[in-house]
Chain A
Amino acid sequence: MKVMFIYLLLVSIAYIFAVIFFMFVYLVIRKMLRNRRARKKVAYYFYIYPKVIEHIKVDGNPRLFEIRKHWKREVVANVLLEAVSTFKGREEIRRINLLCDDIGLTDELEEKVRDKRWWVAAEATRMAGRLKLERLTPVLLENISSNHYDLWTSSARALSHMQHYRSLIQFLFENEDKLQRWSIIRIIDMLKNLSEDDVEYVIGKLKDVSPFLQGLFIEILGKSRAHAALIPIEDYLDSDDMEIRVKALRAIASLEMTTRPEKIISFLESESWLERLNAILVIKSCHLKTGMKGIVPLLSDNQWWIRYRAAETLYSLGSSGIEKLKETRMIHEDRYAREMAERILYNHSN
């Protein structure tokens, strides 16, 4: 028995020793090779950077960038990714796309976007989106229906980079029941700067979708500052669904204009603190001085955020609002109202 134990231990020691030795050698050689390659990449980056930038700014000779080595293509791709965050013009983007075609990057990314390994496809999708490679749009539209969360979210993000908002909106309308709420919110967050056509399309469809999606689109219309949507959004102030009313108030606050001030002011007396809060926000953003009278009692509201926003709004309404705050600080019967007025006046005195 003891002999067997000793034999087993000897074998184990020999194995572990061999494994450690192999790991040592592997780690050191890998590190040396990696550092050598990194140095080469840095040198090439500094060499190629001005040429690429020059090419983007002024039409150049594409042959300059005939690149066969994969690592060199990686460096140029990185330069291009940096460039797209600076060069936003249509002509410059066209040249970036041409350059991608010339060095074979578009083909490489197209192949990768179709790859079955989701992480390869997702990474290629991210690059395609940032480089605005329109040629890959059909594949991205296919991938948006992928079952893999990471792949479809990166496809959605890429499409939003390329401002294909309509595709995303259609995707949401058609797949709402299949998507998790959080995923829908993520996509909605990508929809910024909707075009006039997109706004019109959303307004046209708004009545046919679920209240959840309605609320989100109302909010996004507000954030996109789509003034054409003001009247349809204001119609939702009469909705039976409290959440929709709140979203409509929030959107109006973002649009900074309203045609129904009395309706907005009536929300200051709502039983829902969310409605009261968002009505205050609208009064502030639309500078509705007629709302001041309704705001003063909210300085002693039982919700901290309401007291805070009410005091902030009074301050923003100019000298008469500030006077109300000073008065509250001195003589209001409620301690919380006095302290909030004090706090806001103090904050603005610095």
Chain B
Amino acid sequence: MLADIFHVFNYFIFLYVIIVDGFYLLLFLLSFKQVKEYLKQSPYSEIKEFSLSNLTTPISILVPAYNEEKTIVHSVYSLLQINYPEYEIIIINDGSKDGTMEELQREFSLSELPIYALRKQIDTHPVRKMYRSTKYPSLIVIDKENGGKADSLNAGINFSSYPYFCSVDADSMLEPDSLIKAMKPMFEGGENVVACGGIIRVVNGCTVENGYLKKVRLPKNKYAISQVIEYLRSFLMGRIGLNSLNNLLIISGAFGIFRKREVLEVGGYSVSTVGEDMELIVNLQKHLYKQKSDAKVLFVPDPVCWTEVPEDFRNLSRQRTRWQVGLLQTMITHKDTLFNPQYKSMGLLAMPYFLFVELLGPTIELLGLIFVTFGLFFDLVNIPFAVLFFTFTLLFGVFLSVSAILLEEYSFRKYEKVSDLLKLLLYSILENFWYRQLNAIFKTWGFVRYFKKDTGWGVQRRKGFNVDQTSKSSFNQH
């Protein structure tokens, strides 16, 4: 009896792995095709023309900040140097307990503004004060009571003046042309794009000067390097692949552009989830289906946002369990869309993908490992078969990681040194023997956290950007 159950489970795992790996292979091929198309267009698209044109739609950049004293100044400087004709930066200090507000005051000479008659379109926690920088008039700081990231973004939307907004994390930096590249589909597509996301890359290890990324290098920390590969896989393969199927259900909270009208129509960011970025996109997609609109949510692979990633076990586990809780909350909230033909490919493909691959996948993989070990112990497993199957899954994992590096090398080549490439290739093998399993454990723990109703954000410790010290003096002269 036990042996029968065991065999059935084994077959299930076997089939599951084959289907999921097949889907990943499909995503890789689709991504390759889409990147190729994108590269065909990029050499002659005149970014400069858009950045000088009166037709370029103005945009509000919203930066929610909670305890970001180590990175906030560099982030703001990187935003001030963006190449875009008309934009405003709204920093929302979400009741930080550290020196975030003081850092902003000191560096940008903030002057208090009367909170003018505001169209409060979304309910938020009370705003205490509002400031404008006397050095940079386009910089506005809102100081509000703590209500979480989603609440801060909603407050930012209330204060924003322009028809589009861009959400950027306070521990992230945009490249100067990122905004214009991400907005380009909006100019070209006219009314047909409601949201657009760009690629997130790992800033750890890179050198930052005056808010600019001076040198792109790989981090030395093993957690961070593994995340470099993971981000490449996730964005260059996953997002681009899903985008080509018009099934994008997530735009990273670290960098995404939205048309305000639709976001207001769906009630802004949801404050009841820790995965507010995915929740918003799923809400928007549902809204578009219900409206029978042909508008799209897009992913563009070139606009880059550089973000700081956790470099230790504790912070990584917090972040990953939180992501898993957010995903689970969204899947539960929108369970009505699963296999629902009313939502077409979203209901029949994207949501099942997120359920079976992204949400349950790591846990199924972990259970598979446990069962195989258990089977080996009780002699229930065909040893040659188990060894070969295990080797196959590991090798396929390596293949996917190397494929992501191949896509990167084929397209944007941010890491110039051969030594960096060799390191990436080495880690694409190594990560399959520890990081992948670690992630599976974190994500499985996410279920426990959810059922224990421990669904808060937790404390995320920042290390800060790797600042070029020689540039500090010129930085202060701005």
Contacts and interface: CB of A to CB of B under 8 A. Distances in A.
Contacts of B398: 20
B402 interface: yes
Given A16-B395, A35-B416, A335 B43 contact: no
Interface stretch (A91-99, A228-236, A342-350): A342-350
Interface stretch (A4-12, A136-144, A162-170): A4-12
A350 B111 contact: yes
A342 B392 contact: no
B385 A119 contact: no
Contact of B117 (A31, A126, A223, A335): A335
B113 interface: yes
A228 B395 CA distance: 73
Contacts, number: 90
B396 A16 contact: yes
B134 A23 contact: no
B406 A17 contact: no
A10 B388 contact: yes
A182 B190 contact: yes
Contacts of B406: 23, 27
Contact of B114 (A17, A150, A335, A343): A343
A311 B111 CA distance: 21
A28 interface: yes
A147 B44 CA distance: 18
B382 interface: yes
Given A24-B402, A119-B41, A13 B391 contact: yes
Interface string B371-389: 0000000000010110011
Nearest to A149: B188
A32 B409 CA distance: 12
A16 B401 CA distance: 13
A32 B416 CA distance: 10
Interface string B87-126: 0000000000000000000000001011011010000000
A157 B385 contact: no
Contacts of A17: 395
Residue among A20, A157, A185 facing the most chain B CB atoms (10 A cut-off): A20
Contacts of B134: 350
B363 to A, nearest CB: 24
A16 B392 contact: yes
A340 B118 CA distance: 11
Contacts of A12: 392
Nearest to A185: B55
B5 interface: no
B87 to A, nearest CB: 18
Contacts of A34: 413
Interface stretch (B169-177, B342-350, B417-425, B460-468): B417-425
B55 A189 contact: yes
Contacts of A5: 385
A77 to B, nearest CB: 12
B395 A28 contact: no
A28 B388 contact: no
Contacts of B113: 346
Given A16-B392, A350-B134, A123 B382 contact: no
Contact of A150 (B41, B53, B396, B399): B41
Contacts of A126: 43-44, 46
Contacts of A13: 388, 391-392, 395
Main SS of chain B's interface residues?
Answer: helix
Contact of A9 (B54, B389, B403, B421): B389
B117 A339 contact: yes
Given A28-B421, A157-B49, A342-B114, A119 B55 contact: no
A19 interface: yes
Nearest to B46: A157
Contacts of A350: 111, 134
Contact of B44 (A6, A9, A123): A123
A30 interface: yes
Contacts of A342: 114, 116
A147 B382 CA distance: 61
Interface string B399-417: 1001101100100010010
B49 A27 contact: no
B301 to A, nearest CB: 16
Nearest to A16: B395
Interface in B28-79: 40-41, 43-44, 46, 49, 53-55
A28 B392 contact: no
A12 B388 CA distance: 10
A16 B43 CA distance: 34
Nearest to A343: B116
A139 to B, nearest CB: 16
Interface in A23-65: 23-24, 27-28, 30-32, 34-35
Which residue, of B395, B405, B413, B425, has the highest number of chain A Cβ atoms within 10 A? B395
A122 interface: yes
A140 B15 CA distance: 56
Contacts of A273: none
Interface string A234-260: 000000000000000000000000000
A313 interface: no
Q: Which of A28, A32, A154, A189 has the most CB atoms of chain B within a 10 A radius of its CB?
A: A189
Contact of B402 (A2, A20, A185, A186): A20
Contact of B421 (A10, A27, A119, A189): A27
Given A6-B388, A126-B44, A32 B418 contact: yes
Interface in A277-327: 304
A125 interface: yes
Given A23-B406, A126-B43, A182-B188, 13 more contacts: A2-B385, A20-B402, A23-B402, A27-B405, A28-B418, A28-B422, A32-B418, A150-B41, A157-B49, A189-B53, A340-B116, A340-B117, A350-B134
26 contacts: A2-B385, A6-B384, A6-B388, A12-B392, A20-B398, A20-B399, A27-B405, A27-B425, A28-B421, A28-B422, A30-B409, A32-B418, A34-B413, A119-B40, A123-B44, A126-B43, A154-B44, A157-B46, A181-B190, A182-B188, A182-B190, A189-B53, A223-B54, A339-B116, A340-B117, A342-B116
Interface of B: 40-41, 43-44, 46, 49, 53-55, 111, 113-114, 116-117, 119, 134, 188, 190, 382, 384-385, 388-389, 391-392, 395-396, 398-399, 402-403, 405-406, 409, 413, 416, 418, 421-422, 425
8 closest A-B pairs (Cβ-Cβ)?
A119-B40, A126-B44, A9-B388, A182-B190, A16-B395, A123-B44, A339-B117, A122-B44
